[in-house]
Amino acid sequence: MRSATYNEFGKPTEVLSLGDRSIPEPKANEVRVKTILASIHNHDLLTIRGKYGFKPEMPAIGGSEALGIIDAVGSDVKDLKVGQRVAAASVQATWAEYFVASADMVFAVPDSLKDEMAAQLIAMPLSALMLLEFLEVESGQWIIHNAANGAVGKSLAMLAAARGINTINLVRSSDAIKELDALDIKNNINTEDDDWKEQVRQIIGDDSISAAVDSVGGEASGDLLALLGHGGTLASFGIMSSQPMVLNPTHLIFKQAIVKGFWGSKISQEMSVENKQRLIDELIERATSDKLHLPVEAVFDLADITKAVDGKLQSGKKGKVLLKP
Determine the 3-state secondary structure of 227 from DSSP.
helix
Q: What is the mean pLDDT of residues 284-295?
A: 92
Residue type, 288: T
pLDDT in tens, 212-245: 999 999 999 999 999 999 999 999 998 888 899 9
Going along the chain from its start, the domains and CATH numbers come out as 2-121+294-324 (3.90.180.10), 124-265 (3.40.50.720)
Least confident of 29-43, 62-76, 265-279: 265-279
pLDDT in the model for residue 317: 74
Q: Which of 8, 264, 254, 27 is nearest to 131 (CA)?
A: 264
How many helices (H) and strands (E) the chain has is answered by 13, 16
pLDDT in tens, 116-157: 999 999 988 999 999 999 999 999 999 999 999 988 999 999
- Please determine, for residue 316, whether its predicted confidence score (pLDDT) is greater than 70: no
Q: Which residues contact 29 (CB under 8 A, 6 or more apart)?
A: 74, 76, 77, 102, 103, 104
Residue type, 42: N
